[in-house]
Structure 1
Amino acid sequence: MKKWLSPSLLAVFFVLSAIGHYMDWNHTLQFVLSAVAVVFVAGFLGRATESVAHYAGQRLGGFLNATFGNAAELIIAIFLVKEGLFDMVKASLTGSIIGNLLLVLGLSILAGGLKHKVQKFNITLAGLNGSLMIVAVIALFVPAMFLNTHSITDKDTDVLSLVVAGILIVSYIAWLIFSMITHKSYLDDVTEDNEEELPNEHAPAWSKGRSIFYLVLATVMVAFVSEWLVGTLESLTEQFGLSELFVGAFLVAIIGNAAEHSAAVMLAMKNKIGAAVEIAIGSSLQIALFVAPVLIFVSAFTAHGTMDIVFTTIELVAIAVAVFIAKSITQDGATNWYEGLLLLAVYLILGVSFYLV
């Protein structure tokens, strides 16, 4: 295990975060401890899912990594929904989508490209991912357009949000059936043959049973640390004068994406760019097509009412920009380090813009 993922450091920050929460320490200190703990736990989660991926194959492994990597974001968002912080939830969802498409994918392509020059993955999969990303953008744009033009009422917006959420969930489940079952071989990754070159490098960290156990353990730890982190956000935004948009879109998203960051970059450097792309883009699709719709249904059962699917103009533009550049770069099924740099450049532009809001 890498030094920064040392079990002792993981345990220390997890315990400190717990003590800080239950002893009601200074909220800024609580936030720092919880944020560091989330990064360590998410990294541990990424390590466990990478080990499981060895036994499951690149595509299924990438899907598992994206799914469990999103556990932190989903759990954080559920606690935010329970608190009625809908604007911060939407900002965190926005941050997750653009963070995966620009930061995670950008770092992966940059790191992999510096080591392997040009990396290739299934071009058909790249095209389908691009189409799914566009569907996600359409699903977010349509409700916002109808509400902002006063074509429908607020009550109708809630109904539309629930209907759109249901359609997206069904679409995502159908995509899983298509990509994992009916057309699995059609979407096989083109780099899988390269795995034979360095067998020792790709050996799993743990046995199959231990990997699954650590996966479950890390997910439970994420749930606790996420709740402690959410409890500090309101006071943090007030103390430092930060907007909910910036905190949700960048701070929460970067912390929650720690698992994807570590796993995707490591896989890209091992010339498994297909798995890295599956983690980054697959995670964004999962957020847009599954996590966001699930949160809308969850909110319907809270005292704060249904969270609509209407995002702000700034959020919609950020998501559309991220989808446009990510689709443009990945549509040919080949990547290089300069394309990774371009993705990171767009992410920095959006980051500065969000900070100044």
Structure 2
Amino acid sequence: MKYLRYLLILIPVSIVFEFMHLSPTLVFVTSALAIIPLAGLMGEATEEISVYSGPRIGGFLNATFGNATELIIAFFALKEGLFEVVKASIVGSVIGNILLVLGASMIFGGCKFKTQSFNKKAVEVSSSMLLFSVIGLSIPAIFTHTVKVDLLTSKYESLSIAVALIMFLIYILGLYFSFFTHKDIYGSEHKGEVQSKWSLKKSILVLIIATLCIAIESEFLVGSVEAMTKAIGFSSFFVGIIIIPIIGNAAEHSTAVIMALKNKMDVAVEIAIGSSLQIILFVAPILIFLSLLFKPMSIIFNEFELVALIVSVIIANRVASDGESNWLEGVQLIAVYIIIAICFLIL
């Protein structure tokens, strides 16, 4: 993490590039790299606040701010009307967490330890929730893709809002389930005497400043997407499904791998699957609601995005079924991710 902080120098660089109207590709690259350490600082500040607030409020803060970077980037993409990029980034974040993050964690952890185990019961609950979430996203899409266009009337425009409300309600109930009624399933909350490195005031200040800086950099990033994709030849799908999720989740990705290297596979799996759940049940509905401020965005994904989601969740459920992992399972997850990435690259 400390090496990533050197990238903070790119904040003023990206601002200069933006206001000098230099190459959109340069603006995109500098703002993207600047977001990575900012996302890490946001996560670190949230963890520090949780030391003072206690595990329950800390858990809520982590759930809220864990995917804040993607939410901020997607908000500016919504504002620009880049709906396909927004929806691709939702799918990309989910498959990135399940395939890339979990796969990398299993490879690095598996190279150090022959077999690693994790809380099977807790992961089964999260995996089941993930399966429900993808089913919830699939049904409206299959419905609209199979029903004849002339049968779809204006009343179906409210379908996305209804689905988003149900998803958000499930997210709230899931938090209540894990933090109150069934918290015993999740065992100890990785506690021990945790010493705070920062004061509460410093933690809140860092969180606010990092969030504001991410908002500025996200506006630069989104503003340069279309020109950059045309210049390089990337599709907007590839940018949304691969590049933006990697940028937003870089700090989280490194944390999961570090936990696996410390033989804390419970935490690594929790980060990967838990973050995917937050994306579908929290971030996606919030984006649907926010889109009402501009132009309403549908929650309908294209066929290949749905296939990528379904395949990823099936693999996640399969990996979670025995409560153990090894490096070969990690290689398989990464291989599926690369295949999906190649398909979106040639679109």
TM-score (norm 1): 0.88
Partner of residue 274, structure 1 = 266
The 10-residue stretch of structure 1 (239-248 or 56-65) with the greater mean CA deviation from structure 2: 56-65
| Contact 1:5 1:44 (8 Å CA) reproduced | no
Q: 2:286 aligns with which of 285, 294, 297?
A: 294
- Distance change >3 Å, CA 107–CA 203, structure 1 → 2: farther
Partner of residue 338, structure 1 = 328
Unaligned runs of 5+ in 1: none
| Contact 1:130 1:331 (8 Å CA) reproduced | no
Whole-Å Cα distance in 1 between the matches of residues 96 and 32 of structure 2? 17
The 10-residue stretch of structure 1 (174-183 or 54-63) with the greater mean CA deviation from structure 2: 54-63
Secondary structure of the corresponding residue to residue 3 of structure 2: helix
Structure 1 residue 10: deviation in Å?
4.0
Partner of residue 129, structure 2 = 132
Structure 1 residue 40: deviation in Å?
2.1
Residue type at the aligned position of 2:337:
Y
Partner of residue 308, structure 2 = 318
Partner of residue 184, structure 1 = 183
Total equivalences in the alignment: 345
**Is structure 2 residue 152 aligned with structure 1 residue 153?**
yes
| Contact 1:102 1:343 (8 Å CA) reproduced | yes
Structure 1 residue 285: deviation in Å?
0.6
Question: How big is the alpha-carbon RMSD for the aligned residues of Structure 1 and Structure 2?
Answer: 2.4
How far does the alpha carbon of each residue in 1:36-57 deviate from its partner, in whole angstroms, 9 at most, with x for none? 1012212333444455566678
Residue type at the aligned position of 1:73:
E
| Contact 1:45 1:215 (8 Å CA) reproduced | yes
How far does the alpha carbon of each residue in 1:308-327 deviate from its partner, in whole angstroms, 9 at most, with x for none? 11100010001111111111
Structure 1 residue 188: deviation in Å?
1.6
- Distance change >3 Å, CA 270–CA 218, structure 1 → 2: farther
Partner of residue 252, structure 2 = 260
Q: Pairwise mapping of residues 18-97 of structure 1 onto structure 2 (< 5 A)?
A: 18-51=15-48, 64-65=61-62, 67-97=64-94
Partner of residue 243, structure 1 = 235
Partner of residue 175, structure 1 = 174
**Is structure 2 residue 109 aligned with structure 1 residue 112?**
yes
- Distance change >3 Å, CA 59–CA 90, structure 1 → 2: same
Residue type at the aligned position of 1:238:
K
Unaligned runs of 5+ in 2: none
- Distance change >3 Å, CA 233–CA 82, structure 1 → 2: same
- State the identity %: 48
Whole-Å Cα distance in 2 between the matches of residues 331 and 98 of structure 1? 18
Structure 1 residue 267: deviation in Å?
2.1
The 10-residue stretch of structure 1 (180-189 or 31-40) with the greater mean CA deviation from structure 2: 180-189
How far does the alpha carbon of each residue in 1:131-158 deviate from its partner, in whole angstroms, 9 at most, with x for none? 1111111111111111112265163332
Whole-Å Cα distance in 1 between the matches of residues 95 and 55 of structure 2? 23
Whole-Å Cα distance in 1 between the matches of residues 274 and 176 of structure 2? 14
How far does the alpha carbon of each residue in 1:3-40 deviate from its partner, in whole angstroms, 9 at most, with x for none? 4133xx24411111122222322211111111110122
Residue type at the aligned position of 2:182:
H
- Distance change >3 Å, CA 189–CA 343, structure 1 → 2: farther
Whole-Å Cα distance in 1 between the matches of residues 55 and 270 of structure 2? 9
Whole-Å Cα distance in 2 between the matches of residues 154 and 343 of structure 1? 41
Residue type at the aligned position of 1:42:
A
The 10-residue stretch of structure 1 (87-96 or 65-74) with the greater mean CA deviation from structure 2: 65-74
Whole-Å Cα distance in 1 between the matches of residues 58 and 330 of structure 2? 22
Structure 1 residue 75: deviation in Å?
0.6
The 10-residue stretch of structure 1 (331-340 or 233-242) with the greater mean CA deviation from structure 2: 331-340
| Contact 1:59 1:278 (8 Å CA) reproduced | no
| Contact 1:62 1:278 (8 Å CA) reproduced | no
Whole-Å Cα distance in 2 between the matches of residues 344 and 113 of structure 1? 14
Secondary structure of the corresponding residue to residue 97 of structure 1: helix
